Amino acid sequence: MVRTKEFDPDVVLQRALELFWERGYEATSMADLVAHLGIARASIYATYGGKRELYLKALDRYLRAQDPNVVGRLSQPGPVLPALRSLVDAYVAESLADERHRGCMVVNAAVELAARDRDVARWVQLSWDTLETALVSALMRARAQGEISADRDPRALARFFLVMLQGIRVLGRADPDPARLRDAAEQAMAVLR
């Protein structure tokens, strides 16, 4: 007879995501996962395949939750620059409001693991490609609508904003200085004038 799971794998995955997001991969032990998730080590292995596989599933879950929000924000009809400004302001606000200083799980993964883990590097690159593509598309629309000069390169601008937004997330891991983040946001938007 097959035993049914005594836990919801989706709920446990969300809890694992939260732990990895806050502590990172290396600082999270299997003992930490067992204690935080409230399930046995054997159940983690049987359901997720181990710590690394659980981390990759958690990172995938994070991307599936976060990336569509950014794409949707930049894909709305109408003027682009207010939507871009709203996105930049949201990154600043989220970084300032994050009392636990978790930053962005993708940026955290990039800094901690991407240089030595090809699977993590692929997930990070996928997220950054998604953001860059959404920014390029939005900035092409902005150029077509006359919001930015016709001689501006949407791809180069998108890459600038990608790096700037990820930088906001990096500073969010520390104790971010509101003036520093707000000044950077202002200067980023000034680039488009």
- Mean pLDDT over 122-131 rounds to 96
Distances (CA, A) of 188 to 85, 182, 185: 9, 10, 5
What CA–CA distances, in Å, run from 110 to 74, 118, 152, 153?
A: 24, 11, 29, 27
For the chain, which residues make up each domain, given as ranges? 9-190
What is the tens place of the pLDDT at every residue in 24-69?
999 999 999 999 999 999 999 999 999 999 999 999 999 999 988 8
Give domain 9-190's CATH number out of 1.10.150.530, 1.20.120.1200, 1.10.357.10, 1.10.3720.10.
1.10.357.10
